[in-house]
Structure formats: C-alpha cells, structure tokens
Chain A
Amino acid sequence: MSTAQQHSNSDFTPAHSHHGGLSAMRLVGLILFLVGMATFTATIFLGNYQIDLARLDQASEKVPAEVIEKLSPIAGKTFDSKVEMLNAIESSINADGSIQPYQLGVYKLWLMKDALRGPIADNPWLWFLLSVGLASLGGILFHMAQRNTLPGIKHDHIWFSSMMNRGIIGILTGTYLILFYILLYWNAEYFTNTITMFDPISQFIRNLPADQWFLYGFLYTMTIVVMGVRMFLKYRHNNYHLIRTASIIFFQFGFAFLLPSLMERFSQPSMDLKNAWPLNYSFFMDWNLSSLLSSGNFGLFLLVWGTILSVVLVPLFTYLYGKRWYCSWVCGCGGLAETLGDPYRQLSNKGVKAWQVERIMIHSVLVFAVIMTVMQIVNYTSGGAIFGDYTWRVNQTYSFLIGSAFAGVVGTGFYPFMGNRVWCRFGCPLAAILGIVQKIKSRFVITTNGGQCISCGNCSTYCEMGIDVRWYAQRGQNIIRNSCVGCGVCAAVCPRGVLRLENVNPDERFNVVLDDEVLHSVENLKKEIAA
C-alpha cells in the first residue's frame, strides 16, 4: 500500500518555460543599475571649487590654523578643474614640502570638501539617491527577477559570459574596481564631490561629516546587502546558504558599519568588534593601544575584547566549527567575497602550482604580521627604546603592501580575474592561523558519500579557494584542508550528493580511502586461508 499521490492533470502538461531570457523586470533593473553607476562615476567630475576662508566648516577641525592662513592668496578664486584647485592648494600650503604626504592628503580632502560648489554641494541627498540609490534599487530588481525560475543550481551560461569568464565586461569591471580602490586609498582628495554626497547620511548616523572611509563602509555594506539578495534568490532551496548569507549581512551591517559609527557618534574609539588580529593589523599599533588605554573603561573593554577574540575565541570556534565560522559567516572580506564575489568563484586556479604558491604566500604574510606585531608591542612597552623608528617603517610597509594593496586593490579588484578569494587564499594572515587550527585540530570535515562521485568536476570548478575537491571525492577521501572556508558551495553544486560539511569528533575525520581499499583478490584469499 502506498500513500496516495495527489496529482492534477495540469501537472502533466508542459509548464511555460522559465529558462533564460531577459525579463522586463531584469531589464529595468539592469538599466537602473547602470544609470546609478554612471551617475556615481560622473559625480567625480561635477561642480567647481572655491576656498572661502570664512566657510571652512569641516576643514577647520582637521587643518591647523597656520596651514589655513597660507591659503589666503587663492581664497575667493573659482576653479573649474579639480586638478587645478588641488595644485593651487598644494603650492600654497606645502611650498616648502614640509608636510608629510599622508597629512597633506588629509588636509587636501577636507579643504576640497569645503571648497566644493555646485549641484552636489547644493543637493547631496538628490545625488546620493540618483547614484547609490538607483544602483542599489536596480541591483535588487535585477536579482529579484529570478524569483520565477525553478529553484536549484542554475550555473547556466557562466562560462559563456563575458562578465564571469574574463571577457571584456569582466576586464572592465575589474579595472573599474582597481581604479576605485587606488583613488580611495591613496588619492581620496580626488573623490571629494562623491564623498560629499554621503554627508547627510553620515551626519544622521555619526553626527560627523563623511570621509572616504565612511563612503567605503557604506558602499561595502550596501553591496553586501544587494548581492546578498542575489544569494537569497540563487540559493532559495538551500538553507545553509540562506542562513550563512543572513549572518554575513548581519555582521557587516551591525558590527562593521553601525556599531563603529555609533562609537564615533559618542566620541569613543571605534572598532569593528569582530575584526580579529592579525587581519586587524593595527590593533596592537602604538597609536591604537594609546588611544584605547586613554579612553577609560570603554577603551579598556575594547582592548580586552580584541585580545580575547584573537587569542581565545578564534582558535576555540575554529576547533568547534572549522574556519568557516569566521571566513564565510562573519568576516567582512569573506562577506564581500561570498556576495559580490560569488559570480566569480569559478575563476580561482585549481592547479597544484597555485596551491604551492598559496602556501608560501599566505604563511609569509603571517610571519610578516607576527614580526610586526611583536615589534609593535615591544616598542609600546619599551617606549620605543628597542626598535625605535623601525617599527613605524615596518608598519608603513605592511599597511601599504598588505593592508591596502593586497587586501583592497588585489583582494577585490581581482575578483573578475582570479576569483573572489584572492586575498583570503593568498594573503590573509588570520586565514593562515585559522587554517592551521583547522588542519591540526578541529571537528570540521567535508565527508564524502561512498562511491557516488562521478568525477564531474562541479565541486572543484566552483570552489572559490581553488581546492581540487574532486581529487578527494573521487577517491572517497574526506576533505581536510587548511584553506577550505566552509562556504558549502561544493556540496551545493554536487549533482550526486557526495559532499557534506560536518562537525564530528576530530579523531573520526580521517577515513579509509576507497581508491586504496583491498578488493576481493585471490592472493588475499589465499593469504587469509593460510593464516
């Protein structure tokens, strides 16, 4: 006897096809997104500049009075070109070249913000909505249009796509991202009009004018939300991904964006409470330690929390759940990789050579970070007696090479070229530590399901960390690898249900490999009988 099946006749006629095509909603979404992005890019060129010494509202807090004085010769003059205005400022305030480059950048940024005249200065909200607003709305519509397709893994046409297979659109996107990061990190003063659009929202949340870091934090969070919507739709059949994506959005919005903004609002030292050392490489820098130690109980709390997080919680949770709890559930870099970067995950190199390079690079960065931190702490406790100026230079080098160039420019800008985890795989020192714990002592493992693997290669192709998952799966070997961030995509794309992410007893992680299993051999039988 069997349960009656309730089918209606209409179940057995072809449904309207849901495949492919650009639906009207998707098209509108795409157009809105492109208009938003174009507006965003155009804002860099909008407006003109005039220094009004009586109206330096933002700069007066950041730029010393004696520097401002030097601006009188150019005050009142209108400049149509951003470059000319910047040159004029530079030649007025730094004729003798005595200002440090970093400081000079800060002065220029705030002076330029006050000097901005024109549509954005008059209507920041309007421009904010026309750019960030439209692009976000468009992005959400574009992805929502997928809701009518049947749920399931739909990686159709990925390798035919110019965007997702290093075609011209992918190359342009990568180039755009790289330029964006270069401006953001080293030439923010060229970004002033764009940053000014964010003033009202920054004032609202932080009670402070926007700087490039607020712009970055806001866009970062918005991107994770919009591309998170994409993940929600893509994986609406897979709770692991739904919950994981919700967690990423929660930590990005709450921990990386909102809480630090509120700390600033209340004039406290601000910190992303989930950003563990050594990813957070400035945590033990002397200026941070001084700032925390001079900020009363709250500063002390941050210091203790940051230390406990890195020294106790990170290894403990990694023992319990593997690296994934951080890298694909909590971390901001991981969060962007899992949302904005998801369309590019297949571009990671799966070769053995890449694996060798990866191990050398990531562990070198870890060694670099550890040495730097030891120097920082020694320097702080000894008052600079031992390493002196060297600590500062090492910090500078690390910030530039690793913190900005690698984590930022390469980390994100290379999504369309080398996949979405370039930084996490080759550079992140925290990932290196998590990986060592995961490999040596953790309950996390990817179990393989007997002999069901058909060596199709979907798992390896879509592993963003470049792990050749199939190599293990087809031998029936459980997967325990330093680099695995537990994103769960290999298991999701496997058409034969071969892979499963699990937390088990650490000693039961290793299994008998099917490929080596002794079959029924006559020689063995003879030996058994003889014995």
Chain B
Amino acid sequence: MAHIVIIGNGIAGITTARHIRKRSDHHITVISAETDHFFSRTALMYIYMGHMTYEHTKPYEDHFWSKNRIDLLRAYVNAIDIEKKALSLGDGRTISYDKLVLATGSQSNKFGWPGQDLPGVQGLYSYQDLELLEENTENIQRAVIVGGGLIGIELAEMLATRDIPVTFLIREEWYWDNILPIEEAKLVTRHVYEHGIDLRRSTNLVEILAGDDGRVRGITTDQGEEISCQLVGLTPGVHPNIDLVKDSPVETGRGVLVNDYLETNVPDIYACGDCAEIIVEGEARNRIEQLWYTGRMQGQALGRTICGERTFYERGLWFNSAKFMDIEYQTYGFVPNRPREGDAQFYWEDEGHRHCLKIIYNQSDKVVTGMNVFGIRMSQDVWHRWLKEKRDINFVMTHLPEANFDPEFYKAFEGEIIEAFNRQAGTNLQPSRQPGFFQRLFA
C-alpha cells in the first residue's frame, strides 16, 4: 500500500483520488489550501447571485470522504523535497509520499497594469476571491471589468444581479471574437447590451487610479476616457499555477510539463488538470486544457495509471458549453473564429437573435467538421457520432431533428434551419421525419 499525495482538491485532483480508490487500497491524501472540501468552481457565480449557497456547490456530501478513506488536509504546500519524497507544509509539518500528483489549477492573469494590486482590484478564480468580491462590492456605484472571456461575462452577470452598474472593457471588436466567429460574437454582444451592461468594445485598460483612501477610484482607457469606479474585475484569462515547482527539477513550461500519460520528467510525480501542459510531439504549441471536463478525464486516466494500468490520456473529440447570461452555448468539433482555406460554412440565426447555428464543413467533400449552437440544446452523442462517422452536410441537415436535446414542447427550429440551408445551397433537403410528441407518447 503506497501513500499517494495529491495537491489540489479541484475536479482534477479529486477525480484522480476517486479513481485510485475505485481500483486500489492505497493510502490517499488530498491537500488544499483553498477549502476543506471539494466544491464546484464553475458554480462560484451562483453563490454570489444567491442561486445556491457554498454548501450546494459541493458535489459530494462531507461523509463521502471518510467513507471512501480519502484523507483531506487543509494546508498550503510550501515546497517539495524530491530527494526525500516529502512535502513541507505552511504550518511547519512535513508529509512524505510515495507518489505525488500536482493538481494545483490556475491563477488569474494580470498584465502589469499600473495599479493592478490596489485594494478593490481583483480577479475571480478562488473561493477567497468570491469572499473578497462580497467585501469589495458593498455599496459601490460602478464596477469596471477588464477582459472579455468566459469569466468576465459571468462577473458582469453577477454584478448586474446586485444592481451594480457595470462597464465592461474588451479588447476585441465583438465579445469573445478571438474564439467565436463574428456572427456568433455579435449575437452574444447584442445580448450583453440587452442586459444593460455598458460594454466598451476594442477598448484597453491603461491605468487603474487610486483615491485618497488608497482604494481604486477609477480607470483610464486607451480611448482617452476616465471611468470612475470602486471595483475593477480583472478577467483576462488564467494561467497554470506552477508556483510550487517553478524552481524544482520538475520541468515546467507555461504549465507543468507532462507526457500523454500525465507523467512529469521526475518519476512518481504526475500532474493533471489546469496546471498540466501536455507535450505535443512535433508541434510548436503544447496543450493546456483549462476545462472542467478535461480535468475530470485527466483525473480518470491518471487514477488508472497510478494503480498500475498505464493509461494514455486522450481527450477525444472537442466539445464544450457555456452560458452567456440567458443564452446557452454548445460546440462540438472545431469551429475556427475566422474561416479557413477550404472550409465552407452554414449559418442560421432566428429573428429574435437568441438562437443560432453554425456548421463548418469541407468545401470539397462536404464532410462536417464542427458546429456552434446557441439557444438550442443538442445531443453530444448524436453530434459525436456524426463527426466520427464523417457525415456530410446534407446528411447532417436532413437528420438535424435527431440531435435536438431541448425540453419537450419547445419550439423546434429545424424546419426553418433546413429551409435556410436549402436557400443557401440550392438543395431541396427534407428533414427526416421525427416522431411528433404525440407519436412519441404512444411509441
């Protein structure tokens, strides 16, 4: 029985622990400085908005851990002694390990803006950030958010529910158009405005200004404007947290470097989740996956590897989802933000600008390679099957109703979508007949 120590109780570390327990009797210790128990980072916003309490964001009840003999330790790890295979903790204790898993997650980016460390300036990543946000937003008149990614828009939504006016600076012309194609980016941009958010496009932060009390009192932008505010939310993305191993024999790049088995260069030390940078042989850029489901899948694979079943981590087909205020988003396969050579695309948007579908396919053989959908839920199974089977656009269009995952009785847009496609492509496709609700009732 070996002692496996995992640093980080996020989705990656915890999944690793669970899967080690499923397959072995090893002694497992999970260390984290953030919270006593695993909670869902993705749900931080809902705590602030009052949809849930912190307790609700814990995916497992507290008795789960002792029942499964997973020891939890609330402590900060100061350093790793690789020779002695031991960790020194913030409270002075040391802990030895046989195998070590680094699952230390990410940290918020800061780009060296003047004033970025003033009181009232903060990012949104940890539970402590959320507590700080509560303090920082007490009785404030305006907040400025800098950086238009997924966390930025969540922060804007959060503040809006507290009736705090929000100015939202994004570098891009349209929200997230460094990832989303223009049409989709415009649809979300429009929705952000609809929520009363003062979105400033193509605008950069220059300086954060301090007031007499030493707290933030405003910012200036590269458009020459000064905006008075009492909170600055910095949300220009995250980077792997490698503080612990930066100056150790464990090799790092942007993240902790690992191979496809999530093994570092040092035997018995592994890394997974946001902090891991997976080396991609023969390519200029390695892979860093900062997502919930990739953290989970890496943990599953690593749990096996540690229990002796060496497992190649394969993410499989790309997918993701998000929610932009009231509009849900899903993506399957790859959709570039600007058209690539040889790609053709189909785009449909409804009149109310709350639903749209983008499909990318090869110009030559018409094989579908990716899709974005907003405001309609679609089945991952069905889309993955189509992408794997290399279905062409005509097949996909005809069978589109089968992918629908909206709740019963929702308005079906497929008819409209196929009509739009027929108009664009000069085809005359008919949707495969999906059984109607009443037919399904008696199926």
B267 at the interface (CB under 8 A from A): no
Q: How many A-B residue pairs have CB under 8 A?
A: 212
What are the residues of chain B within 8 A of A119 when measuring CB–CB? none
B42 and A455 contacting across the interface, CB-CB below 8 Å: yes
B129 at the interface (CB under 8 A from A): no
Contact indicator per residue, chain B 276-315, by CB within 8 Å of chain A (1) or not (0): 0000000000000000110011001100100011111110
B193 and A11 contacting across the interface, CB-CB below 8 Å: yes
**B interface, how many residues as a size bin?**
35 or more
A7 and B186 contacting across the interface, CB-CB below 8 Å: yes
CB closest residue in chain A, given B379: A449
B160 and A457 contacting across the interface, CB-CB below 8 Å: no
Interface centre among B194, B199, B408 (most CB of A within 10 A): B408
Binding stretch for chain B, among A72-80, A305-313, A518-526: A518-526
A21 and B56 contacting across the interface, CB-CB below 8 Å: no
B194 and A452 contacting across the interface, CB-CB below 8 Å: no
A157 and B50 contacting across the interface, CB-CB below 8 Å: yes
Distance in angstroms between the alpha carbons of A456 and B52 in the assembled complex: 9
B106 at the interface (CB under 8 A from A): no
CB closest residue in chain A, given B326: A152
Say which residue of A1, A18, A352, A455 sits within 8 Å of B59 (CB atoms): A455
Distance in angstroms between the alpha carbons of A152 and B194 in the assembled complex: 13
**A interface, how many residues as a size bin?**
35 or more
A3 at the interface (CB under 8 A from B): yes
A12 at the interface (CB under 8 A from B): yes
What are the residues of chain A within 8 A of B325 when measuring CB–CB? 150, 152
A158 at the interface (CB under 8 A from B): yes
A148 at the interface (CB under 8 A from B): no
Contact indicator per residue, chain A 11-55, by CB within 8 Å of chain B (1) or not (0): 111111111110000000000000000000000000000000000
Say which residue of B42, B196, B420, B441 sits within 8 Å of A16 (CB atoms): B196
Binding stretch for chain A, among B73-81, B214-222, B341-349: B341-349
B42 and A461 contacting across the interface, CB-CB below 8 Å: no
Interface centre among B49, B297, B424 (most CB of A within 10 A): B49
B129 to chain A: closest CB distance in Å?
17
B190 at the interface (CB under 8 A from A): yes
A403 at the interface (CB under 8 A from B): no
Distance in angstroms between the alpha carbons of A171 and B397 in the assembled complex: 55
A461 and B51 contacting across the interface, CB-CB below 8 Å: yes
What are the residues of chain B within 8 A of A474 when measuring CB–CB? 59
A69 at the interface (CB under 8 A from B): no
B380 and A240 contacting across the interface, CB-CB below 8 Å: no
Distance in angstroms between the alpha carbons of A522 and B311 in the assembled complex: 5
What are the residues of chain B within 8 A of A524 when measuring CB–CB? 309
A503 and B443 contacting across the interface, CB-CB below 8 Å: yes
A55 to chain B: closest CB distance in Å?
56
B50 and A155 contacting across the interface, CB-CB below 8 Å: yes
A156 and B328 contacting across the interface, CB-CB below 8 Å: no
A457 and B183 contacting across the interface, CB-CB below 8 Å: no
A448 to chain B: closest CB distance in Å?
10
What are the residues of chain B within 8 A of A229 when measuring CB–CB? none
A451 and B183 contacting across the interface, CB-CB below 8 Å: no
A311 to chain B: closest CB distance in Å?
21
CB closest residue in chain B, given A2: B347
Given contacts A20-B161, A351-B61, contact A500 B377 (CB under 8 A): yes
Say which residue of B51, B199, B349, B408 sits within 8 Å of A501 (CB atoms): B408
B50 and A497 contacting across the interface, CB-CB below 8 Å: no
A355 to chain B: closest CB distance in Å?
11
A1 and B314 contacting across the interface, CB-CB below 8 Å: no
What are the residues of chain A within 8 A of B293 when measuring CB–CB? 451-452, 454
A501 and B407 contacting across the interface, CB-CB below 8 Å: yes
Distance in angstroms between the alpha carbons of A457 and B21 in the assembled complex: 24
B285 to chain A: closest CB distance in Å?
22
Distance in angstroms between the alpha carbons of A310 and B420 in the assembled complex: 50
What are the residues of chain A within 8 A of B195 when measuring CB–CB? 15, 17-19, 150
CB closest residue in chain A, given B411: A239
CB closest residue in chain B, given A524: B309
What are the residues of chain B within 8 A of A452 when measuring CB–CB? 293, 319, 321, 330, 380
CB closest residue in chain B, given A239: B409
What are the residues of chain A within 8 A of B328 when measuring CB–CB? 495-497
Say which residue of A321, A458, A519, A523 sits within 8 Å of B52 (CB atoms): A458
What are the residues of chain B within 8 A of A157 when measuring CB–CB? 49-50, 161
Give the interface SS of chain B, mostly helix, strand, loop or mixed.
Answer: mixed
A159 at the interface (CB under 8 A from B): yes
B163 and A21 contacting across the interface, CB-CB below 8 Å: yes
What are the residues of chain A within 8 A of B338 when measuring CB–CB? none
B163 and A2 contacting across the interface, CB-CB below 8 Å: no
Given contacts A14-B198, A16-B196, A452-B380, contact A497 B330 (CB under 8 A): yes
Distance in angstroms between the alpha carbons of A474 and B299 in the assembled complex: 14
B309 and A159 contacting across the interface, CB-CB below 8 Å: no
Say which residue of A3, A159, A454, A515 sits within 8 Å of B51 (CB atoms): A159
A118 at the interface (CB under 8 A from B): no
What are the residues of chain B within 8 A of A156 when measuring CB–CB? 49-51, 161
A530 to chain B: closest CB distance in Å?
15
B334 at the interface (CB under 8 A from A): no
B300 and A11 contacting across the interface, CB-CB below 8 Å: no
CB closest residue in chain A, given B358: A2
Given contacts A2-B345, A452-B330, contact A460 B56 (CB under 8 A): yes
Given contacts A13-B193, A503-B443, contact A158 B50 (CB under 8 A): yes
Given contacts A452-B321, A455-B42, A501-B408, contact A521 B381 (CB under 8 A): no
What are the residues of chain B within 8 A of A522 when measuring CB–CB? 309-312
CB closest residue in chain B, given A497: B377
A102 at the interface (CB under 8 A from B): no
B69 at the interface (CB under 8 A from A): no
A383 at the interface (CB under 8 A from B): no
What are the residues of chain B within 8 A of A238 when measuring CB–CB? 407, 410
Distance in angstroms between the alpha carbons of A237 and B326 in the assembled complex: 10
Say which residue of B42, B163, B379, B443 sits within 8 Å of A19 (CB atoms): B163
What are the residues of chain A within 8 A of B410 when measuring CB–CB? 238-240
A356 at the interface (CB under 8 A from B): no
What are the residues of chain A within 8 A of B194 when measuring CB–CB? 11, 15, 150
B315 to chain A: closest CB distance in Å?
10
B353 at the interface (CB under 8 A from A): yes
B409 and A240 contacting across the interface, CB-CB below 8 Å: yes
A299 at the interface (CB under 8 A from B): no
B369 at the interface (CB under 8 A from A): no
B396 at the interface (CB under 8 A from A): no
Say which residue of B40, B348, B353, B378 sits within 8 Å of A454 (CB atoms): B40
A454 and B42 contacting across the interface, CB-CB below 8 Å: yes
Distance in angstroms between the alpha carbons of A335 and B183 in the assembled complex: 43
Within 8 A of B (CB), among A241-270: 242-243
What are the residues of chain A within 8 A of B46 when measuring CB–CB? 456-458
A12 and B310 contacting across the interface, CB-CB below 8 Å: no
Distance in angstroms between the alpha carbons of A502 and B349 in the assembled complex: 27
Given contacts A155-B49, A240-B410, A455-B11, contact A3 B347 (CB under 8 A): yes
What are the residues of chain A within 8 A of B61 when measuring CB–CB? 351-352
B314 and A519 contacting across the interface, CB-CB below 8 Å: yes
What are the residues of chain A within 8 A of B245 when measuring CB–CB? none
What are the residues of chain B within 8 A of A18 when measuring CB–CB? 195-196
B17 to chain A: closest CB distance in Å?
13
B165 at the interface (CB under 8 A from A): yes
Say which residue of A14, A150, A457, A492 sits within 8 Å of B326 (CB atoms): A150
B163 and A521 contacting across the interface, CB-CB below 8 Å: no
Distance in angstroms between the alpha carbons of A452 and B162 in the assembled complex: 29
* B positions within 8 Å CB-CB of A: 11, 40, 42-43, 46, 49-53, 56-59, 61, 160-163, 165, 183, 186-187, 189-190, 193-199, 292-293, 296-297, 300-301, 304, 308-314, 319, 321-323, 325-326, 328, 330, 345-349, 351, 353, 377-381, 384, 405-411, 420, 424, 440-443
List 6 A-B residue pairs with CB atoms under 8 Å apart, sorted by A's residue number: A2-B347, A20-B163, A238-B410, A320-B441, A455-B42, A522-B311
Contacts beyond the supplied A11-B193, A497-B328, A520-B314: 6 A-B pairs with Cβ under 8 Å: A2-B183, A14-B193, A450-B384, A454-B293, A496-B321, A505-B443
What are the nearest 6 A-B pairs in CB distance?
A450-B380, A17-B196, A152-B326, A497-B377, A2-B347, A239-B409
